[in-house]
């Protein structure tokens, strides 16, 4: 029977046989997918990271900006600050993805990075009414097939929780400009707080960075409670820190995790394989998540 099942996935989901797809335990993936298919769209929710998960890592040979980096624009901040932000990225991003450090070791550096950049943005008195233009000006681009992913979830009324350590206001603008900000989309992120004249004065709530998503997931219980009727979770991320995004779902029955391994691929392959059910190597498309979705709903 198992052989027939394997055959089934091969013919029904040819995307999973690509060389860019790796699985530590194929049978676990298949069992989970069949259980999710049996329960159907009504039992499913999707929890996804944003930067470098729903957006591309690189496009036409250039790195795609994160929501923070979209703000690194002369329109919004002065020359001196653009240089500073770039420097901070070059200092801290390598630490974020360093395979030789564990999350506890990275944590203080991440807090430092986010805090420095948020302080800089506040000091630059960013204006709310210029964010949309900064997004239009930027090279932000969603993964190929991402619109189809959003549209399918909306059609099937599957809730999509986007859980991002980026900047919520920018994230919303990116998905709005891509015409995929559908009513089934919920967002947990770092939101800007503007004064009455529309100038940035602070960031709202507890800071979310790449390695404290568990705390965020637990404290945003109210938002997550709306998703409580959906015990099956498809989780997408590009960082080991993204795996805790589903920790707030207390009623989870089946969780299938997909990890985009964009950078430092050889160094991080083993840890990704040990942590995500499916690992996608340098894959700039949503082909695999779309195929999984087609199979389940």
Q: Which residues are catalytic?
A: 49, 51
Separation between Cα atoms, residue 97 and residue 76, nearest integer Å: 28
- Applying CB under 5 A, does 49 fall inside the site for Mg ion? yes
- The backbone torsions φ and ψ at residue 46, rounded to the nearest 5 degrees and listed phi first, read -115, 130
Nearer Cβ to ligand C5P, position 66 or 232?
66
- Applying CB under 5 A, does 284 fall inside the site for Mg ion? no
- Considering only residues 226 through 265, tell me which ones interact with Mg ion, judged by CB under 5 A: 238
Separation between Cα atoms, residue 85 and residue 82, nearest integer Å: 5
- Applying CB under 5 A, does 51 fall inside the site for Mg ion? yes
Hey, which residues does 186 pair with through a beta bridge? 161
- Give least dist CB 238 to Mg ion, A: 4
Q: Which stretch binds Mg ion (CB under 5 A): 38-46, 51-59, 197-205, 246-254?
A: 51-59
Nearer Cβ to ligand C5P, position 41 or 175?
175
- Applying CB under 6 A, does 89 fall inside the site for ligand C5P? yes
In the numeric block, the tokens 């919920």 are attached to 186
- Applying CB under 6 A, does 93 fall inside the site for ligand C5P? yes
Tokens of 201: 């004065």
Binding mask 220-259 for ligand C5P (x = CB under 6 A): -------------------x--------------------
Nearest residue to 137 (alpha-carbon basis) of 70, 68, 82, 57:
70
Nearer Cβ to ligand C5P, position 205 or 295?
205
Buried b (16+ CB within 10 A) or exposed e, 129-168: eebeebbeebebbbbebbebbbebbbeeebbbbbbbbbbb
Given Mg ion, ligand C5P, none, residue 45, with its beta carbon under 5 to 8 Å by kind, binds none
- Applying CB under 6 A, does 70 fall inside the site for ligand C5P? no
Given ligand C5P, Mg ion, none, residue 56, with its beta carbon under 5 to 8 Å by kind, binds none
In this chain, which of 165, 249, 278, 280 binds ligand C5P, going by CB under 6 A? 165
- Applying CB under 6 A, does 50 fall inside the site for ligand C5P? yes
Task: Give a three-class secondary structure readout of 129-175.
Answer: HHHHHHHHHCCCCECECHHHHHHHHHHCCCCEEEEEEEEHHHHHHHH
Is 16 exposed, middle or buried, given 0-12, 13-18 or 19+ CB atoms closer than 10 A? buried
* Chain residues that interact with Mg ion, rule: CB under 5 A: 49, 51-53, 238
């Amino acid at each position: 029977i198992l052989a027939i099942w394997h055959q089934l996935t091969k013919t029904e989901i040819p995307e999973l046989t690509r060389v860019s797809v790796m699985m530590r335990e194929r049978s676990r993936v298949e069992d989970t997918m069949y259980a999710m298919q049996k329960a159907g769209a009504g039992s499913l929710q999707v929890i996804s990271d944003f930067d470098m998960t729903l957006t591309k890592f690189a496009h036409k040979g250039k790195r795609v900006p994160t929501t923070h980096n979209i703000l690194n624009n002369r329109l919004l901040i002065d020359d001196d600050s653009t240089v500073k932000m770039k420097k901070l990225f070059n200092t801290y991003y390598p630490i974020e993805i360093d395979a030789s450090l564990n999350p506890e070791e990275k944590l203080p550096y991440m807090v430092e990075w986010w805090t420095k950049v948020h302080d800089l943005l506040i000091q630059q008195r960013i204006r709310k009414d210029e964010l949309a233009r900064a997004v239009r000006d930027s090279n932000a681009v969603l993964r190929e097939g991402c619109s189809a992913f959003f549209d399918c979830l909306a059609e099937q009324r599957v809730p999509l929780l986007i859980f991002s350590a980026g900047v919520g206001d920018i994230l919303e603008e990116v998905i709005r400009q891509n015409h995929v900000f559908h009513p089934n989309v919920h967002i947990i992120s770092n939101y800007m707080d503007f004064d009455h004249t529309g100038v940035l004065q602070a960031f709202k709530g507890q800071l979310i960075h790449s390695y404290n998503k568990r705390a965020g997931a637990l404290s945003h219980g109210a938002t997550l409670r709306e998703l409580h009727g959906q015990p099956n979770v498809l989780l997408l991320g590009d960082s080991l820190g993204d795996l805790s995004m589903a920790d707030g779902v207390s009623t989870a029955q089946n969780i299938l995790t997909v990890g985009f391994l964009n950078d430092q691929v050889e160094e991080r392959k083993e840890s990704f394989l040990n942590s995500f059910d499916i690992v996608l190597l340098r894959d700039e498309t949503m082909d695999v998540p779309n195929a999984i979705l087609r199979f389940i709903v």
